[in-house]
Amino acid sequence: MVKPWRYATGEFALGLPGTVIGAYMLYYYNHNLGLAVGYVTIAKIIQAIWDGINDPMVGHLSDRTRSRWGRRRPWLTVGAIFYLIFSVAAFLVPGGIKGGALFAYYLTLSLLWETAATVAWIPYHSLLPELFPTEASRLHAQTYKKSVTMIAQIVGFVATPILIEMMDYVYVSAIYCVLSTITLVVLLYGLREPEVAPLAKDEPGFFESVAATVHHLTYRYYLIVHGCFHLTLAILMGAMAFYADYSLGLKGFAVSAFFGSVFLATIPGLWLWASAARRLGTPRALSISLACFAVSIGLLTVVPNLVTGIAAGVAIGLSMSGFFVAADVIISRIADTDYARTGRKREGMFFSVPWVITRCANVLQAGAFLLLYYLFGYSSGEAPGPNPGGAFRFLMGVMPFVGLSLAFVASLGLSRAFRREEAYVQTAKAAGTGALGD
């Protein structure tokens, strides 16, 4: 059996480059290089369309893979290699390009990076229900896993503002990729997947498998929660550097302190919410954490300085960690129910479809930046408009509050749907009918 700590190292290997890209790629192209938000919005829409195809396709193909190295490991290995390469290449921008040429470069690198990320991340997440078969073991592994995620994000958010004062973005990204490569080797060296049955002759095709996943009411509710949460996260990741600069007037070490408050608080929050999930049930703990997150995110509209910003960051970190603990455990539980109903092993598909929702959230993130142009006149670092501080207070506080409120309502429906669907499974087992079917 793979130890939880070893499985968790994958979050550092993949999460550290992703943190830098997620937090600084948009800032670098828009603020430093002058790429207009209109171009960014077009790029995000194209990415979302492409990801809507390749995300579930990778999940489906990894579900169907049978090799002596396992189902997920070959995909994870190849995807991670290209993911690290493109994480560095994203900041290797030819000097002097502007306008359409800069947009073309940004779009190309974004598509390459996102594709490699899909090939690496989806198999990695899909390993959770296979390596850890019970909900208790999954909560334990997920807590380790997301604690490592926070360490990667602390390094990415806290160290990066300091490092970019001393060196170019591309060198910072290269350093992080070296660290990621070391931890990736640790993960792959000890990774052993459980054996699975050979593919059945009547194994469903791609579109049938996609339809089968969204057949579950629990899964549809979860996708709403996932989408609203990741829209908030996308705004936070993309706008934190802008917010620290324009709204709080922070530079250098102060930016690191603000970012660090969020992610340092998340680590104890993970263990807090894991304990709550064991006592209250994972769906109920998720609902409570979303309500707390919605309240804490609203504080960003009013905090005036670094001290109050850190206080708000701590509240945000403690509350948002509830989703990180619960999300993959809930998907695993849905996949278990699907297996009980159909006899199909479709973890990859269940873990891939939310990525499509995440990409749509990224499009809405770009749309939110575009909205700032119409409401506040913000276009880029070269044309910030009359009130960029107010613009990013609105973006960081008001819009996420609305999204998280919707996520909370959907999470209540998720809890009810879980009780109903799992009761049906138990009834079928008691009656000796096997799978429930449709």
Query: What is 4-190+211-431's CATH topology?
Result: Growth Hormone; Chain: A; (1.20.1250)
Say what the pLDDT of residue 437 is.
45
At 137 the pLDDT is 92
How far is the CA of 232 from the CAs of 74, 189, 363, 428, in angstroms? 32, 35, 12, 39
Phi/psi for 386 (5° steps) reads: -75, -20
Distance CA 391, CA 396 (A): 9
What is the per-residue pLDDT for 1? 66
Which pLDDT score, from 0 to 100, does residue 324 have? 92
Per-residue CA distances from 136 to 139, 329, 348 (Å) = 5, 9, 21
Distance CA 110, CA 86 (A): 9
Q: Return the closest-CA partner of residue 181 out of 18, 14, 21.
A: 14
pLDDT at 367: 79
Q: How many CA atoms lie within 13 A of 159 on its CB side?
A: 16
Nearest alpha-carbon partner for 408 in 320, 313, 299: 320
pLDDT reported for residue 277:
94
Enumerate the domain spans of the chain. Answer: 4-190+211-431
Q: Which pLDDT does position 320 carry in this prediction? A: 92
| pLDDT for res 436 | 47
Coil, helix or strand at residue 380:
strand
DSSP line for 48-93: HHHHHHHHHHHHHHHHH---TT-SSHHHHHHHHHHHHHHHHHTT-P
How many Å apart are CA 325 and CA 280, to the nearest integer?
14
Q: What is the pLDDT along the chain (438 residues), one digit of tens a residue?
A: 688 889 999 999 998 888 778 778 888 888 888 888 788 888 888 887 888 788 889 988 988 888 888 889 999 999 999 999 999 998 888 887 888 899 999 999 989 998 999 999 999 999 999 899 898 999 999 999 989 988 887 787 778 878 888 888 888 889 999 999 999 999 988 788 887 777 767 777 888 888 888 888 899 999 999 999 988 888 887 788 888 888 888 877 787 788 778 878 988 999 999 999 999 999 999 999 999 999 999 888 888 888 888 899 899 999 999 999 999 999 999 998 888 888 888 889 999 888 788 777 767 777 788 888 888 888 877 788 898 888 889 888 888 888 899 999 999 999 998 888 777 666 666 666 554 444
- Per-residue CA distances from 333 to 129, 336, 418, 423 (Å): 8, 5, 9, 13
Contact 90, 109 (CB under 8 A): yes
Q: Residue 369: what pLDDT? A: 80
